[in-house]
A and B are shown apart, each in its own frame.
Chain A
C-alpha cells in the first residue's frame, strides 16, 4: 500500500446548500467548452467587430474634441466617409435628421450631449444587433448542442440525478454556460466599447451623462441570451447526437432568415405594384427615407456597404411585419426597444410574443427531457 493511501475515511465536513451545484455545473461546463480550439478562435474573432466600432467612437469623439461637430455634420450631409467604414456618417446623418426644431438643443454643450447620446446608442445597438448576434448564433451552435446531448449519450445524467442536484439546478447550470459565453460575445465587448467611448471623450463626465447605456447593453445582451440559450438547450436535450442538435440549431436560424427575407421581398414586390401601398410607403417613410432626408434631400441611397448597418442601427423606420418569423429579426426589434429606438407597439408585440412563446416551449421541452432517461 502506498504511503499516501490512508484507506477509506469518513467525512464530516459542512456541505454547501442548494444552488451550489449550479455554479459547479457552470464552471465545469465552461472549462470543458473552452478546451475546443474552435470556440477559442470564434470568441477571439467575435471581438474583431468591436475594433471597427471603436474607430467610429474615436472619430466621433475626436471631432467633438476638436470642435468639428458642425463640419462633421456637414460631412455627414454630404455623405462623406467619416470613420473609414461609413458607419458614423450614416448614424450622424440620421441622428441629425431626427432632431426636430422643438427638441433642438439650446446650447452647444447640450447639442453635443444630445448628439453623443444618440450616436452612441445607435452605434452600440448596431454592434450588439448586427455582427454580435450573428456571431452569437455561430458560437452557440458550436457549444450548446453538446451540453445536454453529450450527457445523454455518455449516460452522464446519472452523475447529476443520483446526487443532490435538481432539474432546475441542472438546467440553470447548463444555461449559464451559454450565458457566460454569450456575455463574452455581446455584453463584454459592448461594455468595452462604451468604456472606450468614455476614454476617448474629452471628459470622464461623459460616463455620467451616458450612464444608462451600459445598462442597455446588458439588457440587450440578456434579451439575446435567454431565448437563444433556451432554444439551443432544448435542441440539445432532444437527442443524444450533438451533430443533430447542431444541425437543427443552424437550420432554424437559416430557415427563419430565408423565410423572413422571402416574405419581406414578396411584400416589397407587391407594394411596388400597388399604388396605394406606394402612397402609404411615402407617407410613413421608407428604409432610407430618414437617411435621405438627413442627407439634405439628396436623392440617392446610402452606400451599399452601410445598408446593413443602417438597418441594424434601427434607422429603418418601416415596421417589419415578418420580424416575428425569424429569431434574429425578433431579437433585433427587442434590442431596438431596449435602446429606445423602436417604441411602436405594433412593431414590438409580434416579436415579443414570438420570443416568449419560443422560450416557454423550450423550457417545457427542457423540463421534460433532461431527466427523461431516469424515468424511462
Chain B
C-alpha cells in the first residue's frame, strides 16, 4: 500500500491495556498538517500513544493510520515516513555524533556516502559544530538532544514525532529547537507532533493541541479556538490613568475593566466603537501601546481539562 495524502495521523478508538491497567481508553484523534502538541500529566498515556502510532505496541482495540498506512501491517513503510525523537536518550555507545546520525540514515536505507553527506548537512542545520566528532556518550544532554533530533530527521520524514524535545536545553537552545520545528512544519511541509509537558513551548509553536489525561482525549482543537474566551474581548495596553480611561469607556456604554496596571479589557467593539475607544483614550490622556483580542492562557485550558477528567474519579471515590 502506498502512503496517501490523507491526514498524517488518524487514531480511531484505540484501546491499550497493560495487564489490567488501561493506558489508552478509546482514544480517537486526528493529527492535521502543521505542528500539533500532545500534552498531558505524567502517566496520561502519551508515550504509549506515540508507540501505537509507530506500531510498536499491540492494541486491544481500534486502529491507527499514518499517512493512510497501517503501522502494524506496513511497519517498514510507516517508519520510512516517520522520524522519532524519543524522550529517553537513545544512542549507540561508541559512535561519534556524526556516525550516529549516519547510522540512522543507513538504517533508513541511505547509501553509505549519501548517508554521511546527509548526516553532516542536518548536523550543520542543528548547529552541532565540532562536537559531532565526539562519542555520543561524552556529549552534554543538550548536544545529545540535537543529535537525536538530527538522527530523527536525517531521512527526511514526512511526520516528525518528538517526545519532550526541549528537555535539557538551555533557553537559547530551546528557542532554536522550537524555531527548527517551525521551519520544518511551515517551510518544508512536515507534520510535527510534539509530546511535552512544557505548555509555553506548545503555545509558542503549535497550531493544534491535544490534551490527553488518564488515557483519554480530553480536549483537541486548534490553539486559537481552544484559547478563545467564551465572549470575545479586547485587551488594550497603555500607560497613563487607566482607571479614568475605563470610566470614560463605561460612560460610553462599553463594559471596560482594568485587568492589570498595564491594560484594560472590554468586549470587542464594532468599528464605530473602536473610534470611540481612541477618542476616550485621547481624552483621558493615556498612551496606547497595543490593542488585540484576548485569549485564555493555555495553562488555564489545560488545567480545566485535567480537572474535568479527574471529576468522575473523585465522584467515584
* Interface residues, chain A, with chain B CB atoms under 8 Å away: 2, 4-13, 15-18, 20-21, 24-25, 28, 32, 35, 150-151, 154-166, 371, 374-375
17 A-B Cβ contacts within 8 A? A8-B122, A11-B156, A16-B109, A16-B110, A20-B109, A21-B107, A21-B109, A32-B94, A35-B94, A158-B84, A158-B86, A162-B54, A162-B82, A162-B86, A164-B107, A166-B75, A371-B56
Besides the known contacts A13-B111, A157-B90, A163-B104, 15 further A-B residue pairs in the complex with CB atoms under 8 A apart? A5-B124, A8-B125, A8-B184, A9-B121, A10-B188, A15-B108, A17-B109, A18-B76, A21-B107, A28-B92, A154-B91, A155-B89, A159-B104, A374-B51, A374-B57
Q: How far is the CA of A157 from the CA of B77 in the complex (A)?
A: 19
Q: A4-B124, A28-B92, A155-B86 are in contact. Are A163 and B114 (CB under 8 A)?
A: no
* Interface residues, chain B, with chain A CB atoms under 8 Å away: 51, 54, 56-58, 75-77, 79-80, 82, 84, 86, 88-95, 103-104, 106-111, 114, 118, 121-122, 124-125, 137, 151, 153, 155-156, 180, 183-184, 187-188
CB-CB under 8 A from A166, the residues of chain B are 75-76
Nearest B residue to A8 via CB reads B125
In the A-B complex, the 5 residue pairs with the closest CB atoms? A15-B109, A11-B156, A158-B90, A162-B84, A5-B124
Q: How far is the CA of A311 from the CA of B114 in the complex (A)?
A: 53
Closest Cβ of chain A to B267, distance in Å, is 44
Closest Cβ of chain A to B110, distance in Å, is 7
State whether B188 touches A8 (Cβ < 8 A).
yes
CB-CB under 8 A from B180, the residues of chain A are 8
State whether B92 touches A154 (Cβ < 8 A).
yes
Say which residue of B56, B80, B103, B121 sits within 8 Å of A6 (CB atoms): B121
Nearest B residue to A9 via CB reads B121
State whether B79 touches A163 (Cβ < 8 A).
yes
CB-CB under 8 A from A7, the residues of chain B are 125, 183
CB-CB under 8 A from A161, the residues of chain B are 54, 56
Q: How far is the CA of A11 from the CA of B137 in the complex (A)?
A: 29
CB-CB under 8 A from A157, the residues of chain B are 90
Q: How far is the CA of A164 from the CA of B121 in the complex (A)?
A: 22
State whether A24 touches B107 (Cβ < 8 A).
yes
Closest Cβ of chain B to A161, distance in Å, is 6
Closest Cβ of chain A to B120, distance in Å, is 8
State whether A165 touches B107 (Cβ < 8 A).
yes
Say which residue of B79, B94, B110, B156 sits within 8 Å of A162 (CB atoms): B79
Q: How far is the CA of A24 from the CA of B58 in the complex (A)?
A: 28
State whether A164 touches B109 (Cβ < 8 A).
yes
Q: How far is the CA of A17 from the CA of B84 in the complex (A)?
A: 20
Q: How far is the CA of A6 from the CA of B121 in the complex (A)?
A: 7
State whether A156 touches B76 (Cβ < 8 A).
no
Q: How far is the CA of A5 from the CA of B176 in the complex (A)?
A: 15
Say which residue of A2, A18, A151, A159 sits within 8 Å of B103 (CB atoms): A159
State whether B125 touches A5 (Cβ < 8 A).
yes
